Structure 1
Amino acid sequence: MGLCTVKDKFNICIVGPFGAGVAALKQLGHAVLSVPQGEELFCNLPDILEKNSFSPDLVLQVECLGKRTLIQGLDTLDCPTLFWATDPHLNLHWHNTYGRLFDQVLSTQQSLVLPFKLEGLSDVRWLPRFAFDLASPPITSRKNEIAFVGRLSDQRPGRKWMVDFIKSRVGERPFPIEQSLSHSEMLALYQDTKIIPNESILGEVNFRLFEGTSCGSLLLTQDLGEEQASLFDPGREIDTYADAAEFEEKLKFYLGNDDLIQKMGQAAHKRVQSEHLPIHRAEQILDFAKDTARNRATFSEAEKWLAVTIASMWESGMLDLPVREVLSRLAASSQDENVVVATLRVQTVINANSVVEENLLNLLGGKLFEDSFGVNFTGSAAALRLGNWDAAKAFWYRHLKSINNTKLPPKEPKDLLICWAKELKKHQRVFRGGFPFKSKTHLPHTALDCLLTIYDNDPQDAEVLRLIDVMLRPRKELDQVRGGFLASLVAQNSSDWRLFFEQALTNLHSYRLDDGMQKLVLARELASERGQERAFSMALRGRDESGLIIKRLLDC
């Protein structure tokens, strides 16, 4: 049912903040109905279309990062429907169900296309953020050597560490730090700045990459691998750093090097003009829509997925909606495993313990959803919260039976949570970005949630601290979080050079160069005392992406 290839011009309905895209589509000759974000949570799109006498050939919703809007009536429309998830790294917990209401989901993060598909969405494609058609003033005419725009808070320690690190390295050079500029003011500042440093929350390719390059500035950004490198060529259009040692080296190299900044900034600006403007994204959206099949949920299925989405958003604190309405929508939906899990999670948040207990007994007594991993895990976690050890184990045994596995029975709640954490890791549910998990409020959803539940009860549990470290170690973007748990482990075992080594690397990945090098020196000394210098050297060679850490260590 893709976009009709016979027609040259289309009627396109855009819901959400995509003004630059609306202008681009009109420039291409298409008719566009732009539906702005309203104050209401729900948007009845068929009614809006009827009031505007607009018959769309394509509907695109662009996620708004402020006021959320959920579209109703998509299943009644006879045209392709697309949802562009602009912040999926922080919102996958509800994008993965809301996306069921659309034929196709577009993710700004290529790395999350597979996780979307693992959640059951059949058509997910990569559509990066976009840049802007702006002038690139000569570098020599710009007032600021380096500038940063972004909110600094305790919730983003890495960003503050980066800013402090730059302050300590730029000397007397102008380094404005702005936290509350309008978008146009921010772009004007970038046009008057030579170097833009970049730091992302969870290793995502963010808007700053495109905003800085739109202005012909040199983006100095974390090395995010192939996804980012496919958008801008490192070393030619932008530059990257793997750790604080390399970041310092790059700052020294570029500060005052106007000729090279001019060359790279203009190369990036040229790339923006040829590949990353709103008109390029608009053309890509139209191409995607041409081979879109009808994948969206309809009728009762659509109502179910909307109800589950609302429950997830409410649970995370995103929606100011009466819990009675949340539960009513779930109760009115077909009672499949997704609805059961969402209902248990919401009921747990409001401490509806007697109702949860009754639901768990009905699931076990009626042998309902015995093969559902989600129901068994959530039921087990809910039973643990209620102190019903027998029911918690019963759900675990149901899970083992469903996978034809026989393991030794867990002896206590901690054992059971660890068992579930390991199973969740197999299901690739290790960490959930953007969800503010609190073990006293929420039921765990990921492997890390299970371990944090144990940790919150006993922060000195060395076994759990090590398991948390193992879970987080492959995720370099989580080093800021991991560092706190490593500090606890080091405090318990101050003779383990490998712990100091890991702590050093988390510091070096988090702009704490001096602390990182001090810890690394200590790790080397401890390894030497045990005759393990070779093991230390091999470990460092395998993890020193820039090669500059080893070079610096030789001078220590």
Structure 2
Amino acid sequence: MRIACVGTHLVASLRRMGHEVLDLHPPGGIVDIAALLDAHGFAPDLLVQQETLGARVILAGLETLRCRKAYWAIDSHLNMHWHRHYARLFDVLFTPHLSLFRALPPQWRHPQAVHLAMSGHARPWQPHAGRGHDVSMVGVLDKHRPLRGWLADLLRRHFGVQARQGVPFAEMLALYGDTRIIPNESIGFEVNFRLTEGASCGACVLTPDVGPDQDALFDDGHEMVVYADGLELLEKLRFLLRRPNVGERIGRAAWERVQAQHLPDHRAATMLEAVGTAPGNAATGMAGAEALWLTLFHRMRTDVLNLPPDAVPTALDDLPETPASMAARLRAVAEPPRGQAPLPVRETPALADVLDRLLATGDHADDVDVNVAAAGAALIRGDLKAAKPFWYRLHQARQLRQPDKPQSVYHACLLWAELLRREGRDAQPGFTYDPERHCPEAAFEMLVLAQRHNGGDLEWMRGVERLTSRRKALTFYRLGILARLALEPGAPWRTQAEYGLTCLRAYRVEQGLHELAEAGRRATAEGQERAFLRLLDGYAPGGHLRRGLDVAPAASPVMPSATPPDAEADISPDATAASPADGGDRT
């Protein structure tokens, strides 16, 4: 088979399998793939593109290729806002984060998404007795990774481990090969490179519980050690340090699993098998052109792609109108450039014309994204009157229950946030939402916009708490909200307990134990000790919370109940800024 590979590391594996492979590594940006293939005189049977970290490559012209196409999305936990559009241009979507795609609303999912984690590395086995480090941590520490910073501090204080940054890849693997235990942390509670890298080097990887994507790679207790929170990490790390034979046995089993199932040859075989049995799903013709322009638009919104301001509306005007294209067109004409305030609706003729037409024709009245884009365009301008009709027409078209009446811009944002939450559109990690210019797409973004208009009352805090309870990736924001809710007059002991549990998940162990101990005392005073213990056991059936509270220090008079963390409950633009996904940082 003739295979064109764009940015993949599977070329050698595919050639060993007997295929003719064209190895392409174009620079970042928009690349005309048809012209590039013509320049090489290569007509592929299959095109495989792997997302590369750093400057992303967007292939234009995919809809014109007659071959099968596959995309390996590596960083979907930070790039889902454009991956869901770009993936439509491919027959098969491969991803380490299959659970994230399955959690999307049905209309955003790819019909052929396949679990394919990052490859491991073929390295020789090194017995643990000859290794020079008990524990090593390598990773970027910055304001975008607050939980990792708290983990690094925890390891430094308890074990003297100094986290390392900026380590070249080859040196990092050498360090892992000279280390017995590697604590892992992931920015969005997703399976990440550190897991397979550490396992490839035969280290015992101590990793957070991120769910089925990770469980499909290694077995907990046999090939990796999974922890629920910072307290359990400390407990299991102390055990592994006391019992080095256990850590070596787990590291050896993980290394053997990599050699047997997780090397590039295995990934190449899995990819070809899935492509060979998949139906043709890639968007072609006008649908393919739409998918490309939607991808480019969402890249533009994050300021990583520069195109003329009118490029997207002009391109979408030339395509058949669909709900997805209309929602993008609304946002394109409604959102001002960075640093410019949005003009009122009637002073933005292109926006006013689209809003008027939608209301006059009733087009897309039952589509959530069109209506939330239209309402959001008005709400970022503080225009409740222009936003209301889109709230009501969606409910009428879908025959939903009698809707609440928005009483203010703030109230309208809260209502939309709750509707989007029920629709499964919780958040878009990796997209830095700016309430000064971006029309919201997800519930979390509506709550950020609500905060801008009224900011931080009890109803708003409870909305954020409900939303963050469903997404571990929002743990940092949940921490701040629960700190404030726990301080509210009359707050129940359960709120303080939930704050304590979230502190533990965020590696703030001493604070978490303090809050849980205080919540337990309050529960006992109210005759609800059994309910408190059931809460502990439901969260930690293995008993690490009970053990931790037995040795928890007495409440300090200088540490008041529900002391807020070193971050306010603020989800302003700076707080919602995610790791710059195009910065080339893997760790």
TM category, shorter: over 0.9
Cα pair distance change 1:475/1:546, threshold 3 Å: farther
What is the alpha-carbon distance in structure 2 between the residues aligned to residue 344 and residue 281 of structure 1?
Answer: 41
Report % sequence identity: 34
Moved more, 481-490 or 351-360: 351-360
**Any gaps of 5 or more consecutive residues in structure 1?**
1-9
Question: 2:110 pairs with 97, 106, 121, which one?
Answer: 121
- 1:179 alignment partner in structure 2: 165
Cα pair distance change 1:120/1:517, threshold 3 Å: closer
Does the alignment pair 1:32 with 2:21? yes
Give the AA of the match of 1:12: I
Does the alignment pair 1:381 with 2:376? yes
What is the alpha-carbon distance in structure 1 between the residues aligned to residue 319 and residue 541 of structure 2?
Answer: 51
- 2:281 alignment partner in structure 1: 295
Moved more, 524-533 or 83-92: 524-533
What is the alpha-carbon distance in structure 2 between the residues aligned to residue 260 and residue 298 of structure 1?
Answer: 53
**Structure 1 length-normalised TM:** 0.93
- 1:170 alignment partner in structure 2: 159
What is the DSSP-based 3-state SS (H/G/I as helix, E as strand, rest coil) of the residue aligned with 2:134? strand
- 1:144 alignment partner in structure 2: 133
**Any gaps of 5 or more consecutive residues in structure 2?**
337-341, 553-587
Give the AA of the match of 1:153: D
Give runs of aligned pairs for residues 110-509 of structure 1, distance below 5 A.
110-115=98-103, 118-171=107-160, 175-255=161-241, 257-350=243-336, 351=342, 353=345, 354=348, 355-405=350-400, 406-493=402-489, 495-509=491-505
Does the alignment pair 1:14 with 2:2? no
What is the alpha-carbon distance in structure 2 between the residues aligned to residue 189 and residue 320 of structure 1?
Answer: 39
Moved more, 194-203 or 358-367: 358-367
Moved more, 304-313 or 530-539: 530-539
- 1:55 alignment partner in structure 2: 43
Q: Aligned-pair distance for 1:423?
A: 1.7
What is the alpha-carbon distance in structure 2 between the residues aligned to residue 247 and residue 120 of structure 1?
Answer: 35
Question: 2:506 pairs with 503, 510, 513, which one?
Answer: 510
1:145–1:195 contact (8 Å) kept in structure 2:
yes
Q: Aligned-pair distance for 1:110?
A: 2.3
What is the alpha-carbon distance in structure 1 between the residues aligned to residue 542 and residue 303 of structure 2?
Answer: 40
Q: CA RMSD in A?
A: 1.8
What is the DSSP-based 3-state SS (H/G/I as helix, E as strand, rest coil) of the residue aligned with 1:34? strand
What is the alpha-carbon distance in structure 1 between the residues aligned to residue 482 and residue 452 of structure 2?
Answer: 15
Cα pair distance change 1:360/1:484, threshold 3 Å: same
What is the alpha-carbon distance in structure 2 between the residues aligned to residue 381 and residue 287 of structure 1?
Answer: 44
Does the alignment pair 1:93 with 2:81? yes
What is the DSSP-based 3-state SS (H/G/I as helix, E as strand, rest coil) of the residue aligned with 2:48? strand
Q: Aligned-pair distance for 1:465?
A: 0.2
- 1:528 alignment partner in structure 2: 524
Could you list the runs of 4 or more consecutive aligned residues of structure 1 that deviate by over 6 angstroms after TM superposition? Answer: none
Deviations 1:218-249 (A, max 9, x none): 10111223332221111111111111221111
Q: Aligned-pair distance for 1:266?
A: 1.1
Q: Aligned-pair distance for 1:495?
A: 4.8
Give the AA of the match of 1:62: Q
Q: Aligned-pair distance for 1:276?
A: 0.3
Question: 1:45 pairs with 33, 37, 49, which one?
Answer: 33
Question: 2:63 pairs with 57, 65, 75, which one?
Answer: 75
What is the alpha-carbon distance in structure 1 between the residues aligned to residue 357 and residue 213 of structure 2?
Answer: 47
What is the alpha-carbon distance in structure 1 between the residues aligned to residue 485 and residue 333 of structure 2?
Answer: 35
2:98–2:113 contact (8 Å) kept in structure 1:
no
Q: Aligned-pair distance for 1:120?
A: 4.5
Q: Aligned-pair distance for 1:337?
A: 1.7
Give the AA of the match of 2:81: H
Question: 1:109 pairs with 97, 102, 123, which one?
Answer: 97
Give the AA of the match of 1:24: S
Q: Aligned-pair distance for 1:528?
A: 3.0
Give the AA of the match of 1:60: V
Q: Aligned-pair distance for 1:167?
A: 1.1
2:152–2:162 contact (8 Å) kept in structure 1:
no
2:142–2:149 contact (8 Å) kept in structure 1:
yes
2:429–2:473 contact (8 Å) kept in structure 1:
no
1:505–1:516 contact (8 Å) kept in structure 2:
yes
Q: Aligned-pair distance for 1:430?
A: 0.9
Question: 2:540 pairs with 541, 544, 547, which one?
Answer: 544
Q: Aligned-pair distance for 1:494?
A: 6.5
What is the DSSP-based 3-state SS (H/G/I as helix, E as strand, rest coil) of the residue aligned with 1:216? coil
2:181–2:206 contact (8 Å) kept in structure 1:
yes
Q: Aligned-pair distance for 1:445?
A: 1.0
Moved more, 520-529 or 62-71: 520-529
What is the alpha-carbon distance in structure 2 between the residues aligned to residue 423 and residue 155 of structure 1?
Answer: 28
**Structure 2 length-normalised TM:** 0.88
2:410–2:453 contact (8 Å) kept in structure 1:
no
Q: Aligned-pair distance for 1:334?
A: 2.5
Give the AA of the match of 2:227: Y
What is the DSSP-based 3-state SS (H/G/I as helix, E as strand, rest coil) of the residue aligned with 2:217? coil
What is the alpha-carbon distance in structure 1 between the residues aligned to residue 247 and residue 22 of structure 2?
Answer: 41
1:349–1:441 contact (8 Å) kept in structure 2:
yes
Give the AA of the match of 1:492: E
Moved more, 112-121 or 294-303: 112-121
What is the DSSP-based 3-state SS (H/G/I as helix, E as strand, rest coil) of the residue aligned with 2:167? coil
Moved more, 415-424 or 85-94: 415-424
Moved more, 218-227 or 283-292: 218-227
